Structure formats: structure tokens, C-alpha cells
Amino acid sequence: AHIVNDVWGLRADSNLANIVAKYAVPVILMHNRSNPSNVEVREKLGATYIGAEYENLIEDVKRELLVSVELAHKAGIKKNAIWLDPGIGFGKKREHNLELINRLDEIKKLGYPVLLGTSRKSFIGFTLDLPPEERIEGTSATIAIGIARGADIIRVHDVKEMARVAKMTDALVRENA
């Protein structure tokens, strides 16, 4: 592997951190409070969106990401090999996802590169009342705001279009920064 993208932030498999450290590959640590039942039924519920409960969304996500970072460090994974993913769509309600994107700069302040994966996600569909294949404009908006708030890498389906969105957003918010 060239990179490990762990949707459970090294919390589901106690040996994964050791494997990542052994092979010295970068790791993406995603925040995730999902459980299999809400992952499976989420799209089937229409506008009803199952999400975990949070006392303070941003502080809870930051704290739980830092638990994953600590697991990585304990296994010997170097800081420069760790990326954080706020886990858009994983155990989060529509409102949670919108807030995370708008406040992504607070995740960025943890001192690690941030990956943002919003492409065609359900919260876009619920917001715009559109099926996945018609969510390109919604995805574009989330990518632009995400980059403006500090996202370093984006995970997308529509590569050509989103590369253009990223390039234009970078020109607006990063080139002269």
C-alpha cells in the first residue's frame, strides 16, 4: 500500500497502526461514530438522516481525532505521515456535515493535513433534493468552502470538474496568502 485510509481512525483494528508504522506509509484517520445499521439504512430513509449524538460537534470530533492520532503515535507513526478526515457523512446528521465544512479550519488547527470527502454525499442530496448523479453543483460548493477553510486534499467522483473547482478556489484563497 502507498497510503492507508482508515474509516475507523485506527480504533477498529488494534493491529492496523502497527502495520502502518512497519511499512512507513501515510495514514488518513477518519472520524466516525457510525454503526453498520445506520450506514446501511441512511440512503433509504429519504430526508430522515441518522446521526450520532454530539454534546459539542467540533470539540467532540477534534477530541476523537486526537485519540486516533495518539494511537498512531504510540505505534510509531510519524506526525508527517498522519492526515485527518472529519468523516463527512459518517455518523453525522445533515446539519453536522454542514457545520463541519463551515468550521473545518478548527480541525486544521490541530496541526495535520485535512482530507475532505463530500462528493455526492447524502447531505447534499437532502439539501438539494437530488439523486447522487445530480449532485455536482452541491459537491462543488462543499469543495470550494472546504478548501477555503483549510482542506488539503479532496476525495471526489467527478475528477475533471472538481479539479477545476479546486484550482480556482486555490487561486482565490491560497495563491496570494
For the CA atoms of 40, 43, 46, 52, the dihedral, rounded to the nearest 10 degrees, stands at 60
Active site residue 33: no
CA distances 138 to 119, 165, 169, 173, Å, are: 8, 12, 15, 19
Which of 120, 121, 135, 149 is catalytic? The answer is 121
Rounded CA-CA distance 23/14 in Å is 16
**Any catalytic annotation for residue 149?**
no
> What's the DSSP call for residue 111?
S
Choose the catalytic residue: 155, 160, 167, 174.
Answer: 155
- Positions annotated as catalytic residues are 121, 155
